[in-house]
Structure 1
Amino acid sequence: MLSNIQIVLVQTFHPGNIGAAARAMKTMGLSRLILVAPRRFPDDEATAMAAGATDVLENARVVDTLDEAVGECVSVIGASARLRNMPLPHFCEPDEMAEHVMTQAASAPVALVFGRERFGLTNEEIQCCTHQMTLPAAPDYPILNLAQAVQVCAHELFTVWRKNPENQYSAPAPVQSTRPTQQQLQAFLQHLDHTLEDAGFHNQPHSRTLERLHAFYIRAQPSKKELSLLRGMLSAFSTPRDNGPSNK
C-alpha cells in the first residue's frame, strides 16, 4: 500500500526542501516522489539534504502540470495552511487523512499534494484535488516548513500501515479499485460543463455554480460504473431525438 502513495510537490522554490522531503519520505517507507515544475532540479543542495535518500530523488518524476501528476490517482489530498471557501471534503486531523489514504491505496494510486513554500497551492490547484487537508498547529503561527509537513503526513501514513500486522509480513491481495481516476473524474466534469453550456444553463460566477456542482460530484465519490452511467446520461441529453416520420 505504501508503494501506491505519491508525494507531489508543486513548483518547489528551494531545492533543499526537495531533498529534505525525500528524506522524510524514505524514513517512513514512501518512495514515489513527483515534482511539478520545480525551480531547480536536479541540484546538489537537494542531494545533500536528502542525506541517504538519493534513490528517492533519482527515481522522482518531473512533470509540467498538477493534472499530469495526479491523473491516475483515485484520491488526491491537497495540503493547505489555510481553510478555503470550497465545498470539498476536508481533513483537519492527519490520522483521519491517513486512514482514508491507506484504504484507497490498497487498490489504486493516491496522491498527497504540497504547494509552494511562499503561498502554497492556488485555488485552481485545490480544485484538482478530491479532498483538502489542514494540519493542526499553533493558531498564532500555523505554517509548517514544506519538509516538516511531508514528515508529519508520512509518519501518520506509516503509523496506520505499521498498526496492521498483515502489512508487515505479506503484501495484501490485489484488489481492483472501483473508484475512477482523477483523469476520468475531470473528463466527466468537463463533459458536464459542456452539456450544461449547450443546454443554456446559466452559470453564475459570483455564486460559484459550476464549482459547487463539481464539489457535489466529488463528495458523492461515484464508482467507475456510476460515472460511466452519468456520462451516458449526459450524452443522451446532447443527442437529438428521432421521433420518426410525421403523421401530418
Structure 2
Amino acid sequence: MLSNIRIVLVQTYHPGNIGASARAMKTMGLTDLVLVNPRCYPDSEASRLAAGAEDVVDGARVVTSLEEAVADCVQVVGASARLRSLPLPHFDEPEAMARELVSHAADDPVALVFGRERFGLTNDEIRCCSHQVSIPANPDYGILNLSQAVQVLAYETFKAWRLRPESEFRHSRPAEERQPTREQLDHFHAHLSRVMQASGFLTQPHARTEAQLQALFARAQPNRKELSLLRGLLRSLEESATGD
C-alpha cells in the first residue's frame, strides 16, 4: 500500500532538496517520487544529500506538468502554509489527512504535492489538488524547509499506515465504489463546462463559477459509479438540446 503513496515536488530549485526529500521518504517507506520541471536533475548534489536513498532519487520520474504527475491519483493533497480563498477541502491537522490518504491508498494511487522552496504552489496548481493540508507551526516563525515538510507529512502517513485498522484492508473495494482519478474528474469538469456554456448558463468564461463547482464536487467526493451517473445526465442534456 505504501507504494501507492506518491510524493510530487513542483519546480524544485535546489537539487539538494530533491535528495533530502528522497531521504525523508525512504525513512518512512515511501519510494514513488515525481518531479515536475525541476531546475537541475539529475544532479550530484541530489545524490549526495540522499545519503542512502539514492535509489529513490534515481528512480524519480520527471514530468512537465502537475496534471500529468497526478492524473492517475484518486486523492491529491497540496501542502500549503498560506491561507487561500480557494474553497477546497482543507486538513488543519496532518494526522487526519494521513488517515484518509492511507485509506484511499489501499486501492489506488494518491499523492502529496509540495511546491517551490520560495513560494510554494500557485493557485492554479492548488486547483489540481482535491485537498489542502497545513502543518501547524509557531505562528511567529512557521517556515519549514522543503525536505522538512516532506518529512513531517511522510511521518504522519507512515504512522497512519502502521496504525490502520486491519479490518479496513481485508478486501479491496469494488471499482465502482472507489474514488475517480484526477483525470476522470478533469474529463467530467470539462464536460460540465461544455454543457453549461452550450445551455447559456455561462455566456463567457467564469473561472470563479467553475472553481466553485469543482470545489463543491471535491467536498461531495462522488465515487466512480456516481460520477458515471453525472456524465450520463450531462450526455442526456446534450442530446436533448441537440434534438430541440
TM-score normalised by structure 2 residue count: 0.93
Distance in 2 between residues matched to 1:226 and 1:108, nearest whole Å: 17
Distance in 1 between residues matched to 2:165 and 2:236, nearest whole Å: 49
Query: Does the CA-based 8 Å contact 2:10-2:38 persist in structure 1?
Result: yes
Counterpart position of 2:55: 55
Structure 1 residues 202 and 3, CA gap change in structure 2 (3 angstroms): same
Counterpart position of 2:150: 150
Work out the number of aligned pairs and report it.
240
Structure 1 residues 199 and 90, CA gap change in structure 2 (3 angstroms): same
Query: Does the CA-based 8 Å contact 2:20-2:49 persist in structure 1?
Result: yes
**Structure 2 residue 77 is matched with structure 1 residue 95:** no
Query: Does the CA-based 8 Å contact 2:8-2:69 persist in structure 1?
Result: yes
Distance in 2 between residues matched to 1:197 and 1:206, nearest whole Å: 10
Distance in 2 between residues matched to 1:156 and 1:150, nearest whole Å: 10
- Aligned ranges for residues 90-239 of structure 1 at < 5 Å? 90-164=90-164, 173-177=171-175, 178-202=178-202, 208-239=208-239
Query: Does the CA-based 8 Å contact 2:99-2:161 persist in structure 1?
Result: no
Could you say what the CA RMSD is over the residues aligned between the two structures, in angstroms?
2.0
TM-score normalised by structure 1 residue count: 0.91
Distance in 2 between residues matched to 1:207 and 1:62, nearest whole Å: 29
Query: Does the CA-based 8 Å contact 1:8-1:34 persist in structure 2?
Result: yes
Query: Does the CA-based 8 Å contact 1:203-1:209 persist in structure 2?
Result: no
Deviations 1:23-74 (A, max 9, x none): 0000000000000010000000000000000110111110000000000000
Q: Secondary structure at the match of 2:129?
A: coil
Deviations 1:60-118 (A, max 9, x none): 11000000000000000000111211111100111001101111101100000000001
Query: Does the CA-based 8 Å contact 1:106-1:172 persist in structure 2?
Result: no
Distance in 2 between residues matched to 1:69 and 1:98, nearest whole Å: 20
Distance in 2 between residues matched to 1:39 and 1:135, nearest whole Å: 26
How far 1:165 sits from its partner (Å)?
8.1
Amino acid at match of 1:101: L
How far 1:242 sits from its partner (Å)?
4.6
Counterpart position of 1:43: 43
Distance in 2 between residues matched to 1:205 and 1:141, nearest whole Å: 40
Distance in 1 between residues matched to 2:25 and 2:212, nearest whole Å: 34
Distance in 2 between residues matched to 1:172 and 1:24, nearest whole Å: 29
Q: Secondary structure at the match of 2:76?
A: strand
Structure 1 residues 106 and 203, CA gap change in structure 2 (3 angstroms): farther
Farther-moved stretch of structure 1 (25-34 vs 210-219): 210-219
Q: Secondary structure at the match of 1:40?
A: coil
Counterpart position of 2:32: 32
Q: Secondary structure at the match of 1:39?
A: coil
Amino acid at match of 2:229: L
Structure 1 residues 31 and 207, CA gap change in structure 2 (3 angstroms): closer
